[in-house]
Amino acid sequence: MSESVINMYSDTVTKPSPAMRQAMANAEVGDDMGGEDPTVNRLEAMAVELFGKEAAVFACSGTQSNQMGVRTHCIPGDELLIEERGHIANFEGGAPAAISGISCRTIRGRFGMLDVDDLIGKVRVDNQHLCVTKLLCLENTTNSGGGRVWPLEQLKRVCDWAHEAGLKTHLDGARFFNAVIASGVSPAEIAAGFDTVSICFSKGLGCPMGSILVGSTEQIHRARRIRKLMGGALRQAGIVAAAAIYALENNVERITEDHANAKAFAEALAGTDGVIIDPVDVESNLVFFSIDPDLGDAMQLSAALKERGVRIGGMGPQTLRACTHLDVNREQVLQAAEIVKDCIATGFAQYPKKPFGPFARA
């Protein structure tokens, strides 16, 4: 494989910049479990103001903060509603069931999003034979749905329906700030309809780890206890919280570059024989494209690209996902597109077929 790797597998591969590392090294720390880490406290206060909620709690990962949110609203035997491609239902190791005894009822939507018509009739009646429908989980931007950004009116409409139906609402904001930048809507406006919101720092914001959960004072009090139960007792966590503060202060607006690079990548591939892609579908930093089955499958192309120094993962038998982020620039993105086109032109069926699964790595 080439020594120079253009890694578009995910925005989780980003590494902290020298300035972020310096902020981490200089962080003032204390015991977070006792509320004594000043840097964590500052981050949580920033989140409260930014998202218009009453309280916040720092967490290790987006999966952890999502599961803290789920368990905050539900008890064993309850169910949550979620679009069938939602991360919480598919890519968190079965955590709702394994950790909290909660069922995920998946509903088919469009591009990872739901509307009221999809949800009507999905709340179970109060009957001893049935689990209790308690929570609606949404994702913005949608991951497996194609990196789509929820229109604010649709988001509000669905959350209003949920609350009228007696449900709580949780937002998986793994790429929350991609939605903010793409929509031009403020964080507080997007978060307004949700009881809890999880925001991940380790993707577009470029942190090595970390997430935060925001909500009401009562909900976050409960979430702190759940964090402890899940093994998330943090001590001198200010070292990591400092990275998140740096990201909020320096890395939000630059996400615009990632979106522009994703669009440029899609436009460079458009019109290539054997590739199915429409640049209009690219709304954030995720680019999904499909290949003609006669050429081979997604994992074979992923293997061919890896050998040429480009990392792009499979998301379906014929579908791949490319992800732009702060560690790939415009020149690299366009170079990657040329390598994809060259692999398509020269063929890649000679690479062995491998078992496929979403997020599979060649």
297-337: pLDDT as tens digits: 999 999 999 999 999 999 999 999 999 999 999 999 999 99
Rounded to 5 degrees, what angle do the CA atoms 115, 120, 122 make?
110
159: tokens are: 């959350």
Q: Which residues of the chain fall short of a pLDDT of 70?
A: 1-3, 356-362
Chain center to CA of 25: 27
pLDDT value of position 355: 73
Q: 56 forms bridges with which residues in the sheet?
A: 214
287: tokens are: 């680019």
pLDDT value of position 353: 85
pLDDT value of position 236: 96
pTM of structure: 0.96
Looking at the chain, the domain(s) classified CATH 3.40.640.10 span 16-250
What is d(CA 313, CA 321) in angstroms, rounded to the nearest whole number? 6
CB atoms within 10 A of CB 157: 14
pLDDT value of position 187: 98
pLDDT value of position 228: 96
pLDDT value of position 270: 97
286: tokens are: 């995720």
Looking at the chain, the domain(s) classified CATH 3.90.1150.10 span 254-346
Q: How far is CA 234 from CA 30, 36, 68, 281, in A?
A: 10, 11, 15, 40
The CATH architecture of the domain made up of 254-346 is: Alpha-Beta Complex (3.90)
What is d(CA 354, CA 362) in angstroms, rounded to the nearest whole number? 8
Fold of the 16-250 domain: Aspartate Aminotransferase; domain 2 (3.40.640)
pLDDT value of position 2: 43
Token look-up 């925005």 returns 11
What is d(CA 153, CA 115) in angstroms, rounded to the nearest whole number? 10
What is d(CA 242, CA 207) in angstroms, rounded to the nearest whole number? 10
